[in-house]
Amino acid sequence: MTARTCLSIVLAAGLGTRMKSDMPKVLHQIGGLPMVGHVLKALEEAGSERVSVITGPDMPNLESLVHELMPTAHCHVQAERLGTAHATLAAKSDLQDAADDVVVIFGDTPLVTSGTISKVRGQLAEGADLVVLGFETPEPLGYGRLLIDDGRLVAIREERDASEEERKTTFCNSGIMGFSGAHALALMESVGNKNAKNEFYLTDAVEIANQRGLKVVAVAGSEVETQGINTRAQLASCEEDFQNRMRLAALENGCTLLAPHTVFFSHDTILETGVTVEQNVVFAPGVKVASGATIRAFSHLEGADVGSGSVVGPYARLRPGAVLGAKTKVGNFVEVKNATFGEGAKANHLSYIGDATIGSGSNIGAGTITCNYDGYLKHRTEIGEGCFVGSNSTLVAPVQLNAGAFVSAGSVITDDVPGDAMAFGRSRQIVKEGKAAQLRSRLQSEKDAKSR
């Protein structure tokens, strides 16, 4: 397989009309990544070194995303939406540059895997000229049927055109096709538009290829994996299938999910073996959790790296740039943003740690805040190893606590603290004996006077 060249054509010109969206359909997200991004990733993993994406007019945001995710991809505009064969020919200039395999795939099939794409390419490598990916379903209503005769795919029959007997067929068309590069362009150009909508349907290539004596076959895939998305309801259903796939992968990788259906993953979430995840945890994009770590209930992580043996939560929030070393603790109602915790550092409760470095073994008391923003610019707080910051302290950045420094509870720290020094940044307590009794007596008298 690796010796064969491959051009993949991604059909992504669809509007979000049925989704009631102004955004191109394939930009809607599954697992925190636009649908087309999932498809591009699968194609790359399947060894497609060339990719052409067919967009619609005025879709610069889609083109920008494609070039961001896959800089080598080519975008081609389908000026008029005249069917799938018409769409593929928008990439005619790329088709003229020969490839062994040509894969045509929809941009709204985000659950398709590289293994399935490789399965299609495998049939081309074994001598097929045209390969159609199908799936079995107990409810084929609305799908085009794959008609097989003696192991040969003879036609794809749409529901409205199928006979009563053909409608009994449960092997249906996914829309994903593979062409031998030697015949791809000629077959696509031969597709006509003699149908009710006067559109050019790529599925007609099956009968054309058979008429030319070419080898046409179908391979079976998964209905879940090849599902397309046209509505918000289908988007939600696909998201659920994606989450179930990720949950199963985590469990099979040796992670513990105490309530799997309450844990939500992103497309790039990495949980190493031995991670424990409690209930109602959300992994937004960009999260990696090392082995032996525990993510406790109701925590939200995004763009964060959690070290081995660390404990996060419950009710913790890790924002982008949070890096926790081994055996750290970030507890309930602690928010961490763009901050690094050294090994064994702790912020157990009720704190905001932003734009900071926390040295190994340091302890951040409850209610501590790093004041990182002055209204115009962000500034860093540097806390060395073995420091102790007392509860309800405010660290006004830029400020540095050197190794072993101690900050007394309730302090406002605006200047650097030397190593092993103790800093007090608060007013000295004053005690006035009997003052409370005098105050109560006066206030009670005033209250009584108003009630007369």
Model pLDDT for residues 45-74, shown as the tens digit of each residue:
999 999 999 999 989 999 999 999 999 999
pLDDT exceeds cutoff 90 at 98: no
Catalytic residue among 28, 183, 349, 379: 349
Please report, rounded to a whole number, the percentage of residues in the chain having pLDDT higher than 90: 88
Q: Give the residue numbers of the binding site for acetyl-CoA.
A: 366, 372-373, 391, 409, 426
> What pLDDT sits at residue 452?
76
pLDDT band at 3 (very low <50, low <70, confident <90, very high): confident
Please give the average per-residue pLDDT across 166-191, as a whole number.
95
- Count the neighbouring beta carbons within 10 Å of the beta carbon of residue 194: 7
Contact call for residues 406 and 388 (beta carbons, < 8 A): yes
Whether omega before 314 lies within 30 degrees of 0, making that bond cis, reads: yes
**Residue that has been written with the tokens 């707080």 in this structure:** 381
pLDDT exceeds cutoff 60 at 344: yes
Model pLDDT for residues 131-154, shown as the tens digit of each residue:
999 999 998 888 999 999 988 999
Q: Give the residue numbers of the binding site for Mg(2+).
A: 108, 230
- Report the run of H or E that residue 246 belongs to, with start and end: helix 232-252
Name residue 306's amino acid. Answer: V
Please give the average per-residue pLDDT across 273-289, as a whole number.
98
**Cα atoms in the Cβ-side hemisphere of radius 13 Å centred on 187:** 31
The two structure tokens encoding residue 249: 């992968």
Model pLDDT for residues 370-412, shown as the tens digit of each residue:
999 999 999 999 999 999 999 999 999 999 999 999 999 999 9
Q: Give the residue numbers of the binding site.
A: 11-14, 25, 78, 83-84, 108, 144, 158, 173, 230, 319, 337, 352, 363, 366, 372-373, 391, 409, 426
Question: Is 349 assigned a catalytic role?
Answer: yes
Q: Give the residue numbers of the binding site for UDP-N-acetyl-alpha-D-glucosamine.
A: 11-14, 25, 78, 83-84, 144, 158, 173, 230, 319, 337, 352, 363
Contact call for residues 188 and 88 (beta carbons, < 8 A): yes
Question: Hey, is 279 helix, strand or coil?
Answer: coil
Residues in the chain: 452
Question: Hey, is 149 helix, strand or coil?
Answer: strand
pLDDT band at 2 (very low <50, low <70, confident <90, very high): low
The two structure tokens encoding residue 413: 């720290």
Which residue in 124, 108, 111, 107 sits closest to 47, CA to CA?
124
Using CA atoms, how far apart are residues 391 and 366, in angstroms rounded to an integer?
5
pLDDT band at 162 (very low <50, low <70, confident <90, very high): confident
**Cα atoms in the Cβ-side hemisphere of radius 13 Å centred on 113:** 10
Model pLDDT for residues 198-237, shown as the tens digit of each residue:
889 999 999 999 999 999 999 999 999 999 999 999 999 9
Which residue in 196, 161, 160, 153 sits closest to 177, CA to CA?
153
Q: Kindly give the interhelix angle for 60-69 and 35-45, rounded to the nearest 10 degrees.
A: 30
Report all structural domains of the chain as residue ranges with CATH numbers, in order of start. 6-221 (3.90.550.10), 246-390 (2.160.10.10)
**Cα atoms in the Cβ-side hemisphere of radius 13 Å centred on 104:** 31
> What pLDDT sits at residue 1?
46
Which residue in 65, 76, 176 sits closest to 117, CA to CA?
176
Using CA atoms, how far apart are residues 326 and 307, in angstroms rounded to an integer?
4
CB neighbour burial string for 8-27, b if at least 16 within 10 angstroms, e if fewer: bbbbbbbebeebeeeebbbb
Which residue in 418, 377, 384 sits closest to 398, CA to CA?
377
Q: What's the mean pLDDT when you consider all of the chain?
A: 95
- Count the neighbouring beta carbons within 10 Å of the beta carbon of residue 92: 13
pLDDT band at 243 (very low <50, low <70, confident <90, very high): very high
Q: Which pTM was predicted?
A: 0.90
**Residue that has been written with the tokens 């910051």 in this structure:** 389
Please give the average per-residue pLDDT across 239-259, as a whole number.
98
Please give the average per-residue pLDDT across 163-167, as a whole number.
89
